């Protein structure tokens, strides 16, 4: 079955540091890939997406590239801010009339001023 493996957290960084959160997947066919972010006490927000190999999703300074050869979708940001502190979930959907999202376990990110 489909699965998503995410970098174990928690991750603590200083403000303006470079961020990478690793995500790899296993799926049948050609999945769409997503990063969702959950701020404390809130629901999930779609951060970025990529629907085919070599696509780069980007939003709010975050980027992730769909790498089919390594089955990866790592999240990066060049300079993090305190406001980026949240839980980040990598997810996939196989889109074959199947509306299920498969989530990774989530990575808690804390940014220290």
Partner 1 sequence: DTEVTQTPKHLVMGMTNKKSLKCEQHMGHRAMYWYKQKAKKPPELMFVYSYEKLSINESVPSRFSPECPNSSLLNLHLHALQPEDSALYLCASSQPWDGYQYFGAGTRLSVL
Q: Enumerate residues 75-104 that contact partner 1 by CB under 8 A.
A: 89, 92-95, 97, 99-101, 103-104
Report the residue number, 3 or 79, with the smaller CB distance to partner 1.
Answer: 3
Among 3, 45, 79, 81, binds partner 1 (CB under 8 A): 45
Q: Tokens for 91?
A: 């997810």
Q: How many residues bind partner 1 (CB under 8 A)?
A: 25
Q: Which residue do the tokens 């509306």 mark?
A: 99
- Output phi, psi for 82, to 5 deg: -55, -35
Stretch that binds partner 1, among 12-20, 42-50, 61-69, 78-86 (CB under 8 A): 42-50
Tell me which residues touch partner 1 (CB under 8 A). Answer: 31-32, 34, 36, 42-46, 49, 51, 89, 92-95, 97, 99-101, 103-106, 108
């Amino acid at each position: 079955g489909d699965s998503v493996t995410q970098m174990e957290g928690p991750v603590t960084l200083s403000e303006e540091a470079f961020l990478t959160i690793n995500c790899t997947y296993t799926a049948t066919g050609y999945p769409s890939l997503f990063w969702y972010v959950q701020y404390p006490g809130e629901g999930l927000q779609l951060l970025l997406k990529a629907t085919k190999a070599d696509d780069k999703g980007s939003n709010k300074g975050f980027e992730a590239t769909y790498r089919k050869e390594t089955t990866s979708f790592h999240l990066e940001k060049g300079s993090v801010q305190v406001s980026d502190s949240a839980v980040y979930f990598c997810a996939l959907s196989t889109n074959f009339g199947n509306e299920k999202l498969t989530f990774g376990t989530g990575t808690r990110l804390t940014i220290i001023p």
